[in-house]
A and B are shown apart, each in its own frame.
Chain A
Amino acid sequence: MEAELAARLVADLAWVRPELLLVGFVLIGTLVGAWGGDRSAGVLSGGAVLVLIIAAALSFGQHPEAPLPVFNGALAIDGYGAFAKGVIGLAAAATLLLGADRFARSNARRFEFPLLVALSAIGMFVMASANDLITLYVGLELQSLAAYVLAAFRRDDARSSEAGLKYFVLGALASGLLLYGASLIYGFTGSVRFDLIAQAAPSGGIGLVFGLVFLICGLAFKLSAAPFHMWTPDVYEGAPTPVTAFFAAAPKLAAVALLARVLLGPFGELTDQWRQVIMALAAFSLVIGAFIALAQTNIKRLMAYSSIHNVGFALMALAAGGAQGASAALVYMTIYLPTTIGIFAGILAMRRDGEDVETIDDLSGLATRKPWLAMLLTALMFSVAGIPPLAGFLGKYVTITAAIGAGLWPLAVIAVVATVVSAGYYLNLIKVMWVNPPAAPLMPTGPTVALTAGAATLLVFPGLVIAFGWITQAATTAALTSFP
């Protein structure tokens, strides 16, 4: 009996090698940091990037035929999670690279940064393959707690501290909502395991749906979906820019993957009950993200609303339901992540007198000062605005197609209109860069950010466009095996 348990444990551990790798790195890294202090930050950053990339590669390699529950059903190893974890790992590595470079340049490097990012990544990995309510919560909190600390990373900076505190307080509220929902679900179904909830769900009644609403609201906060988005602009603005870049990328995908897992796994039978909630969240996110951004003058706040708007697209795909919707959401986020990382790399590339450039006016005449950077940013902006033939267009195309396929015409129309509005501020940024008279000169761009921005642009066009068919197919296969 015990031998059997031990054997199963060993077998299960083999499936969580990416997570184990990261955990091991964090433990060792903490020790190294404790002895080496901030001098070891460089080594740890490099190591974290390496480990994240390896973890991503390992995740991509995990392709069980059918969803494989491990650790007594606490986690599920399946294609969807593997795909999401792979992309999360790469995105986290990229943003970590950006951040390490930035902090090194501004002499603010601290060894905690790579470790916190790695911890957060572990949380995201757990989220992506959570298979019961407990793991869901643990993963979420692990990711969030690391994020709270990261937001307040420049602790001598009032805005950064404020951002961390706000994030934490509101995050705690959201966690409360989520936990309350989880308890209701447990109460009405008698289980925390997704497969068992799924069995009991059809007879769950209104109470179960009520619990699900709370759960969704808690997750919507993490996703920064409207109307649970209000923390986003403040935190994005207050947090150090590399941290904002991190927030804008990987955790969004992790939350989308988690939401997909919850909605389509245990509550797949209740699609008609939750669809309208998701649709409402999607519509609010699309519209609010598009409109309020028009009135912003700070690039980071603008990007916050941009991410709200883009999450709306992913939610719209999820609202379509089924493997089709899940795959569309995954493809959308896979295209969105490099774009947003590229844009943040571009923002990080612009420094003036040792300070980060933060307002839109600072971009004036960038085309004169740094033509290459302006060109990269222009391509990325066009992509995120959804202009063909850039990858962003394809992302919008698959999500809108999924929504129309599920008959969600009104939502698709809202999405299109909101996209037009959002094009207003993306195009305005481009106009500011190319038409307005040049602002004061900028400091030289570091190779890392330039490389990241360049690579992101190459991914946006033509990389992901060429790979689009492959990505779509992979995501569809993954979604089909995970949510049959």
Chain B
Amino acid sequence: MEPVLLLAPLFAAAIAGLGQRFLGDRGAMALTTGAVGLSLALSLYTFADYVWLGGEARVIELFKFIDVGGFKSTWSVRIDTLSAIMLVVVTSVSFLVHVYSWGYMAEDPHRARFFSYLSFFTFAMLALVTANDFLQMFFGWEGVGVASYLLIGFWYDKRSANDAAIKAFVVNRVGDFGFALGIMACFFAYGSIRFDEVFASAAANPGLVFDFRIFQVPAIETIAALLFIGAMGKSAQFFLHVWLPDAMEGPTPVSALIHAATMVTAGVFMVCRCSSLYELAPYAAAFVTITGAVTALFAATVGLAQNDIKRVVAYSTCSQLGYMFFAAGVGAYGAAMFHLFTHAFFKALLFLGSGSVIHGLHHEQDMRFMGGVRGPMMFTWAMMLIGTLALTGVGIPGTQFGFAGFFSKDAIIESAFLAGESGRMFGQIAFWCAIAAAFLTSFYSWRLMFMAFEGKFRPNPDAHHDGHAHDDHAKGAHQGAHDDHHHAKPASGAAPAHESPPVMLAPLAILAAGAVFAGVIFAPYFLKDEHNFWRGAIERRHDPLHPPATAAQEPAHYAAPAAVHGAAAGDYTPAAAEAHEAEGGHHVPTWVLWAPFVVTLTGFLLALPIYFFSQTMGAAIARTFAPVNAFLSRKWYFDELYAAVFVKGARALGDLFWKGGDKKIIDGFGPDGFAWMSKFTARMMRLSQTGYVYHYSFFMLVAVAVIGAYAIWQGGAFQ
């Protein structure tokens, strides 16, 4: 069953991609969607079986990959809590995106290729999450990178899409380099790359150092930090985040699947997978915390000033990933995974909803030229509203009423607070960043909602009715459904939009259900480990919010950390932990509980006058604070900085090596110089070839004389 789950999308991708001539577009689409649907069904079964029906954590080894000199790697399917969660997330979002794309890409001439890439991505992501060792994880890691590259650049005749694809790939290389180094360091330190063995060795050997002769570094800290650099690249964390907004050049379903719900969360997944490493590496964990916190805040500030609807959502993704990371950094891996889980639903919902708006507005992505869309696109509006409520984390503190984001985000914020209280590095900073980011999130989310859906329609002055020329980005999006390309403004001020076809709306509805209910249903599992949900898949000993009640709850098969548990367990006496549980685990002051709610409400209330009641106030504020606005809308000038330092620097270095090193030195003294010298020598030598017999005979006699003299000299006659 598990092999089918993993490989069905791969085979579908291969058949659809290579055989598209024979299959046709519809065949390829049906095949890939069916295969991913099959994976989804099996994933749901696996999840249900594992969580409720008593299925065991297990590793199915498919076949050997590498077995050389102690370096072993196996293709395998590892089923445990983490991978079961990820399986459901990946396959469900992927399936919905496949379905959505039937509508969104309906008129694209390369649908078979698109669906083939989507399925290939799904396979790579599944390989990543079901890995049992670092190498397979790396394989999946690179596989999703390739799929992401291919899909960002899917419209290859568009310059900006190609640039964005290359940018994503190159920036990811930086992270991947760190990841690869981390894996090598792992093997160097522990002689294995299998997760269980690495974690067991690390726990048994916490004092191991890498000796560089001049200086020494602790092995676990190094490995954890290197691995996290990989996560920073893939999950678009601060400094390596620059590719994610540009990745929005890809088709919107791709943004929803890869750049919101699944691939970008791979870094979070990896950190959680290696949670026992990070628990042994406080400084690396602190690095994770501060990076996540800064990203959460930074991305939220940039999100304020973006006008492209997809970019707003992209920065929101970046920001939410920051939340997940600092949650993991402070030890709340459960909360991190929970937020990953809920975020997948509501962020995919927001992206697909944005796609629906873009589709409905004939490929207008700029929010300044939207407005009044609610009327014609009521359903989309409702879905986006649910997504926004879930993203901003609306819910009533202290109760079980709230959208999905409420449970996961508040858990993260409270974890950060508690961790800060207990002295964990950067816990307090993370908490305050999170509060600020929550405020900003609320503000920009409502700004998006109001600018896009409310008020009067603001047509694009440059436009356009040539939607296709303006934006071939959704060249397929027009269906027969709206042949009425009337662009006369309706008197009501409503936008000349049309609702999307059902095949696009159905996925929205399903995701919306997830955005509403995923939190309330799964919170006890993720956060309080009900039903023995985690079974040791993540390290929960230092979970600030809900530490495990007793050491006995540590599953036996998770032997290694349990062995050192005795030493660490001093912080939590079983009695205290039980009392803790009895109180619902919330040891947080009331003001902390309410703080996210308050800032979210403030954000909403602030956005209300600026963007809901007024059509111009937002622009006026932006003008008044032009430098600030520019700073934010130019994304803190990161792109400019990188272009100046890295791109120009690399080009200058390349020029130096090319013109100076290669052309002048290597070519000059090497091939070109040698060739020139050869020709010169040839011409010189050729001069001796006069054609006169007496010259020739003279040469012969001179040669004889010289050789004869040499022979005599060598024979010792002159001595």
Contact = CB atoms under 8 A, between A and B. Distances in A.
Interface of A: 166, 169-170, 173-174, 177, 205-206, 209-210, 212-214, 216-217, 221, 227-228, 230-231, 233-234, 273, 276-277, 280, 288, 291-295, 421, 424
Contacts of A276: 710, 714
Contact residues on B (Cβ < 8 Å of other chain), bracket: 20 to 34
B704 A177 contact: yes
Contacts of A221: 700
Given A206-B717, A288-B685, A292-B689, A213 B700 contact: no
Contacts of B715: 205-206, 209, 273
Contacts of B682: 291-295
B573 interface: no
Interface stretch (B248-256, B396-404, B690-698): B690-698
B696 A210 contact: no
Majority secondary structure, B binding face: helix
Given A230-B695, A231-B696, A292-B686, 18 more contacts: A169-B697, A177-B700, A206-B716, A210-B711, A217-B700, A217-B704, A221-B700, A227-B702, A230-B699, A230-B700, A234-B689, A273-B715, A277-B710, A280-B707, A292-B682, A292-B685, A294-B678, A424-B675
A277 B699 contact: no
B689 to A, nearest CB: 6
A294 B710 CA distance: 31
A308 to B, nearest CB: 11
20 contacts: A170-B693, A170-B700, A173-B700, A174-B700, A205-B715, A206-B716, A209-B711, A209-B715, A210-B712, A212-B711, A217-B707, A227-B699, A230-B688, A233-B689, A273-B715, A276-B710, A280-B707, A291-B682, A295-B683, A295-B685
Contacts of B695: 230
Given A213-B711, A214-B704, A295 B697 contact: no
Highest count of chain B CB atoms <10 Å: which of A170, A230, A292: A230
B703 A227 contact: yes
Contacts of B708: 210, 213-214
Contacts of B683: 295
Nearest to B716: A206
Nearest to A206: B715
Contacts of B702: 227
Contact of B703 (A228, A292, A294): A228
A228 B689 CA distance: 12
B470 interface: no
B588 to A, nearest CB: 75
B482 interface: no
A209 B715 CA distance: 8
B679 interface: yes
A173 B681 contact: no
Contact of A295 (B686, B696, B703): B686
Contact of A234 (B688, B691, B697, B711): B691
B687 to A, nearest CB: 10
Interface string B90-129: 0000000000000000000000000000000000000000
Contacts of A173: 697, 700
Nearest to A218: B704
A292 B682 CA distance: 4
Contacts of A277: 707, 710-711
Interface in B580-596: none
Contacts of B707: 213, 216-217, 277, 280
Interchain residue pairs A-B with the least CB separation, the first 10: A295-B682, A206-B715, A294-B682, A230-B696, A227-B703, A291-B682, A217-B704, A213-B711, A292-B685, A213-B708
Nearest to A217: B704
A273 B715 CA distance: 8
Interface in B488-517: none
A214 B682 CA distance: 29
A177 B695 CA distance: 17
Highest count of chain A CB atoms <10 Å: which of B695, B699, B703: B703
A277 B707 CA distance: 7
Contact of A273 (B689, B693, B699, B711): B711
A358 to B, nearest CB: 17
B583 to A, nearest CB: 80
A291 B681 CA distance: 7
Given A230-B699, A295-B686, A169 B711 contact: no
Nearest to B691: A234
Contact of B712 (A206, A216, A294, A424): A206
A214 B501 CA distance: 100
Nearest to A209: B711
Contacts of B711: 206, 209-210, 212-213, 273, 277
Contacts of A273: 711, 714-715
Nearest to A281: B707
B686 A424 contact: no
B678 A421 contact: yes
B693 A169 contact: yes
A405 B682 CA distance: 31
B673 to A, nearest CB: 13
Contacts of A294: 678-679, 682
Nearest to B686: A295
A435 B682 CA distance: 24
Contacts of B686: 292, 295
B142 to A, nearest CB: 35
A288 B685 CA distance: 8
A222 to B, nearest CB: 12
Highest count of chain B CB atoms <10 Å: which of A213, A216, A273, A293: A213
Nearest to B685: A292
Nearest to B713: A206
A424 B682 CA distance: 12
A217 B712 contact: no
B360 to A, nearest CB: 56
B671 to A, nearest CB: 10
Interface in B649-685: 675, 678-679, 681-683, 685
Contacts of A169: 693, 697
Contacts of B717: 206
Contacts of B712: 206, 209-210
A214 B691 CA distance: 24
A280 B691 CA distance: 24
B696 A170 contact: yes
Contacts of B699: 227, 230
Interface in B341-398: none
A231 B682 CA distance: 17
A177 B708 CA distance: 12
A280 B711 CA distance: 12
A467 B475 CA distance: 64
Contacts of B681: 291
Contacts of A228: 700, 703
